[in-house]
Structure 1
């Protein structure tokens, strides 16, 4: 039986990272079991699971196109937002 803290920590899953002309297997620590369409980041690249694991082959992920990867990544600190709805440079005293 798995403890609650172990379940929250996630699991290590071997995933085939397929770039087309080359592929490698990496053990990725995920919070849950992979599923088709799942996105994650590894080695500075955004990946998406494209093939489910089976008895002959494991989970396969392919890199996201740069445009989709930019949408997937976290917003930068210089995105212009302050978090309180005011634009950059706005004075808090009105």
Structure 2
């Protein structure tokens, strides 16, 4: 199973919010999918911006999604280290 499948399928509920009317808000799931796709293709290719436009991203939203991805992979300590957080500040 790829990291993308692991995150987007196994941990789907962590990225989907049920709205008061019962519908699902999948915006975080879509953002996670875009970020994971970008990461898996950007290592061996030049980004053409076709699937991922850098200027459109909200940095705080990206950081939130990356944190969810890292924590779901059991890598919360790595994320905290990258963000220069100590154990008492992590969520």
Range class of TM-score, shorter chain: under 0.3
Q: Which has the larger radius of gyration?
A: 1
Structure with more of its chain in helix, by fraction: 2
User: Higher strand proportion, which one?
Assistant: 1
